Structure 1
Amino acid sequence: MAQSPATADQGHECLIEPNQRIEIRSPATALIERVLVDRGAQVRAGDVLVVLDGTVDQAALVGAKQRAASQSELQVAQARVDYAREKYRRREDLRQQNYITAQERDEAQAELKVAEAELALAVDNRKLAGHEALRLEAVVRQRQLRAPFAGVVTDRLQQPGELAFTGEGARPILKLAQTHPLRVEVVLPVALIGSIKPGRSAEIVPESPLKGSWRATVKVVDRVIDSASGSFGVRLELANPKGEIPAGVKCRVRFL
């Protein structure tokens, strides 16, 4: 006999799971300097988890910043332009008085153009050094691998002194599960398809020996029904800011 929508108030079996699971890998091949967390550690979003060796990048960053801040190349190039401009002005005056040939005047003009081009190149080089410093700052920041969300370290696979490789096939350094918020998965009979909508509240009661109950909110209602079982899936979001609710726990859900 088909279940009526009224049974939505009765409990249904559910499962509390991490909102997502990720693997922490190195963005580049590098030596692991420090691993600051171990399996089971609770972390907050932004916490530093792993520090990679960045000695070479730090040295390159210092050099790029010095080049970007240096005025020496610009001052030398500007002095050459000033000298070449004054030289050309004098030769132009002499040419007007027929004291020198047109070729001598043209040579001074060519020297001025070369000096101006060298000044423009010095300006460009300084800008490029500034861009390189910004790039290296980003590289140095990547030497600290941070938690993208609040969660729990579920595994630690590499240690300080090991070489971390990049790429999808590379061995991860850590595995992390997001525990705030948690997600609650439940499968409901098709008779309830119209009564469960996103935004609806529900009470989550964990299985023994855990006690208490928590309030969750419907986030996803599947639009495709499983014809074989006559059911559809629903996902709820369960706030867990203090990390007190464990993931992987069976539960019962009662829609309010």
Structure 2
Amino acid sequence: MNEKTTLFTLALALLAGGALAADPAAPARPRANPDVSCLIQPSLEVNVGTPVDGVIEVMNVDRGDIVSPGQLLARLNSAVESASVDTQAAKAGFGARKRQRNEELQRKQLISAQELDELTTEQQMAELELRERRERLKLRSIQSPIRGVVVDVYRQRGDLVKQEKIFRIAQLDPLYVETILPSRMFGKVRGGQTFDVLPELGPSAQKAKVSQVDRVIDAASGTFRVRLLLSNPRFELPSGQRCAINFQL
């Protein structure tokens, strides 16, 4: 969700008031300031894809799956690249053995130092070529850069992809709690402060810490934005839900 959409959604929620906190069906919950509503969002969303062209050969995850950093999400067809690596590995190994034999000959002064230098250079170039081909092979494997939840899957096994995104992953720990406050509260809310956040779908209030406070007040609305961090290690709280914040100042 882009910044303008988030701001608009929060503004509507702010005007709507604290309907959550005023719900008579939940009298045991901490009562939040009815003027302060908020929205819970992922702390990070990334599009994961491939910088190379190919056909998806293996698809390991689906929408809703929890993934870890480095986890293999999908793999493109890589038979040609694998064979290329094997071929170059054989060449590099042969070059290393050849250099070793000629080092012994050079010590016996049966070949010149220049000849040995040429063989050494050839072997080093073969090793560099092998490294390059291995890196190209790695590009056929698509891995998760973060711990999070797969939100969207844009392609399936057998699809031809051309340097495009395949997955969208959301980081849900921590969550961002985004809210808009009136200018009269500017300077009262500071980074590091902790407040109770009451999620719309949560069973109870959660502690969240202020991580960011706008340094500029929007002149048109007389408001400023505040972001809090909400710990969610088990991914029990879904993002996208509304909430209310109890600013006890």
Q: TM-score, normalised by structure 2?
A: 0.78
**Secondary structure at 2:176's aligned position in 1?**
strand
| 5+ residue gaps, structure 2 | 1-31
**Secondary structure at 2:173's aligned position in 1?**
coil
Q: How many residues align?
A: 215
**Secondary structure at 1:140's aligned position in 2?**
helix
Does the Cα contact within 8 Å between 1:25 and 1:164 map onto a contact in 2? Answer: no
Match of 1:148 in 2: 145
Does the Cα contact within 8 Å between 1:200 and 1:255 map onto a contact in 2? Answer: no
- Does 2:219 correspond to 1:219? no
Q: Pick which of 146-155 and 68-77 moved more.
A: 68-77
Match of 2:38 in 1: 14
Kindly name which structure, 1 or 2, has the bigger radius of gyration based on alpha carbons. Answer: 1
- Does 2:99 correspond to 1:74? yes
**Secondary structure at 1:179's aligned position in 2?**
strand
Q: How many percent of aligned residue pairs carry the same amino acid?
A: 32
CA distance in 1, matches of 2:55, 2:76: 6
Does the Cα contact within 8 Å between 1:185 and 1:234 map onto a contact in 2? Answer: yes
CA distance in 2, matches of 1:75, 1:193: 73
Does the Cα contact within 8 Å between 2:202 and 2:237 map onto a contact in 1? Answer: no
Kindly report the root-mean-square deviation, in angstroms, between the aligned alpha carbons of the 2 structures.
2.2
CA distance in 2, matches of 1:210, 1:59: 53
User: Structure 1 counterpart of 2:131, which letter?
Assistant: L
Higher relative contact order (CA 8 A, sep 6+): 1
Match of 2:174 in 1: 181
Q: Pick which of 179-188 and 51-60 moved more.
A: 51-60
CA distance in 1, matches of 2:125, 2:238: 51
Cα distance, 1:147 vs structure 2: 1.4
| 5+ residue gaps, structure 1 | 1-8, 87-111
Does the Cα contact within 8 Å between 2:33 and 2:244 map onto a contact in 1? Answer: no
Q: Deviations over 1:13-65 (max 9, x none)?
A: 00001112221111211221111111122222222111122222222222233
User: Structure 1 counterpart of 2:220, which letter?
Assistant: A
Match of 1:44 in 2: 68
- Does 2:188 correspond to 1:195? yes
**Secondary structure at 2:38's aligned position in 1?**
strand
Report which of the two has the higher share of helix.
1
Match of 1:103 in 2: none
Does the Cα contact within 8 Å between 1:15 and 1:250 map onto a contact in 2? Answer: yes
Match of 2:77 in 1: 53
